[in-house]
């Protein structure tokens, strides 16, 4: 049972594999992808789901990489459904054939979220690093035919933000119930490619006007979520609603994190192969480190927003300053805000120049152990 002092987690992001058929240059997965190839087996994932449900989790988001690369995905979905978890598949849709979709529907999958890189084939395929646009549209139509709610997820950046109106029109054409227009978060490959991805202020102002108009026009027909870019805000966003408060992530090798990119931080590791999920959530050093507000330095410690944004993103603070305990440099009150201001200024100056060459995310071969095998049960 979770202690009274610690909230029970609401959502679990299960990153089943970092393998992926796409090569998106804005991917936030680790740079050293091969280090995570020893993936949890089917038996290990089913135990994780049972422990998550007992801990209080209600929503399961199945992601990666590309979760459809796991041959046992249907079995995982069936187990989650039997546990009473609401299941959401976050996918590139490559591999979502009619046969596979029918199996997942029968297993109890509740929702499908498909990534879309752009509104037309040439740009979409260039950003994805592989021909995929036509297959994504076919999969989206299949999702609607099978009666699933459909969410489209579009990561915005300098190369596609000017086309947000056309992206919204595509979502309407496909009958999407929801679209998430999320600006790039600069971690992993996205941070490496920041100079070629960060949009200018003028691009953002134009896109925001288009989104506002679309929200008003589509109200009641399609939910439009617009996630503002961190670098252009006065205050940072709260990290996952606060570090270790409502969400947890299990990555392919079994490590458990308070957010999907916390693998970048120099913190003690916690794995479901060594401890129960309950112990990790309640007691592990990685979840305790930035939980609450006692860890905060000034200006966060004395700021009236300290329980609103919780000091911002720990991973972003580390990526930009080398210190995960610093105030997120996105905040205009941060002593390191000049780092972000300089990046934004550079994006404005580069707006009229050819975009920097983007480094695509590689896709090393997976080295998963036999997925039917398991390990001895363990408890902390």
Percent of the chain with pLDDT over 70: 93
Mean of the pLDDT values across residues 100-114?
A: 98
Which residue has 């989650």 as its token pair? 80
Q: What is the pLDDT of residues 57-83, one digit of tens each?
A: 999 999 999 999 999 999 999 999 999
Binding positions for [4Fe-4S] cluster are 20, 24, 27
Q: Which of 75, 351, 56, 76 is nearest to 200 (CA)?
A: 351
DSSP 84-143: T-EEEEEE--TT--HHHHHHHHHHT--EEEEE---SSHHHHHHHHTSS-HHHHHHHHHHH
Q: What is the pLDDT of residues 266-308, one digit of tens each?
A: 999 999 999 999 999 999 999 999 999 999 999 999 999 999 9
Specify the pLDDT at position 228.
Answer: 86
CA distances to 41, 66, 151, 154, 190 from 91, in Å: 20, 6, 10, 12, 19
- The yes-or-no verdict on residue 242 having pLDDT over 60 is yes
- The yes-or-no verdict on residue 235 having pLDDT over 90 is yes
List of domains in the chain: 11-239 (3.20.20.70)
Instruction: Give CA–CA dist 373/307, Å, rounded.
Output: 44
Binding positions are 20, 24, 27
As a whole number, the mean pLDDT across the chain is 92
- The yes-or-no verdict on residue 373 having pLDDT over 60 is no
Specify the pLDDT at position 354.
Answer: 65
Confidence at 365, pLDDT banded by 50, 70, 90: low
353 vs 350, higher pLDDT: 350
């Amino acid at each position: 049972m979770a202690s009274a002092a610690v909230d029970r987690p609401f959502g679990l992001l299960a990153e089943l594999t970092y393998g992926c058929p796409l090569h998106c240059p804005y991917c936030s997965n680790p740079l050293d992808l091969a280090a995570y190839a020893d993936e949890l087996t089917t038996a290990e994932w089913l135990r994780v789901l049972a422990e998550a449900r007992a801990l209080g989790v209600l929503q399961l988001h199945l992601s990666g990489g590309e979760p459809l690369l796991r041959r046992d995905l249907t079995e995982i979905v069936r187990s989650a459904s039997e546990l009473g978890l609401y299941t959401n598949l976050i996918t590139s849709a490559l591999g979502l054939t009619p046969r596979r979709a029918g199996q997942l529907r029968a297993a109890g999958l509740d929702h499908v979220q498909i990534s879309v890189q752009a509104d037309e084939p040439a740009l979409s395929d260039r950003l994805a690093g592989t021909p995929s646009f036509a297959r994504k549209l076919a999969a989206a139509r299949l999702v609607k035919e099978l009666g699933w709610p459909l969410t489209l997820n579009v990561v915005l950046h300098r190369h596609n933000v000017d086309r947000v109106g056309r992206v919204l029109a595509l979502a309407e054409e496909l009958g999407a119930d929801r679209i998430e227009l999320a600006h790039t978060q600069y971690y992993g490959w996205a941070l490496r490619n920041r100079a070629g991805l960060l949009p200018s202020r003028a691009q953002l102002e134009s896109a925001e006007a288009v989104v506002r108009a679309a929200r008003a026009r589509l109200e009641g027909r399609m939910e439009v979520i617009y996630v503002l870019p961190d670098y252009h805000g006065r205050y940072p966003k709260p990290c996952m609603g606060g570090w270790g408060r409502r969400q947890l992530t299990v990555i392919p090798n079994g490590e458990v994190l308070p957010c999907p990119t916390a693998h970048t931080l120099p913190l003690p590791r916690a794995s479901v192969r060594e401890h129960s999920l309950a112990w990790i959530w309640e007691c592990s050093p990685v979840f305790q480190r930035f939980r609450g507000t006692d860890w905060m330095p000034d200006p966060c410690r004395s700021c009236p927003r300290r329980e609103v944004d919780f000091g911002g993103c720990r991973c972003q603070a580390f990526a930009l300053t080398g210190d995960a305990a610093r105030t997120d440099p996105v905040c205009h009150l941060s002593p390191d805000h000049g780092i972000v201001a300089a990046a934004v200024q550079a994006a404005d100056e580069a707006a009229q120049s050819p975009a920097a060459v983007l480094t695509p995310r590689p896709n090393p071969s997976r080295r998963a152990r036999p997925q039917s095998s398991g390990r001895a049960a363990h408890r902390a």
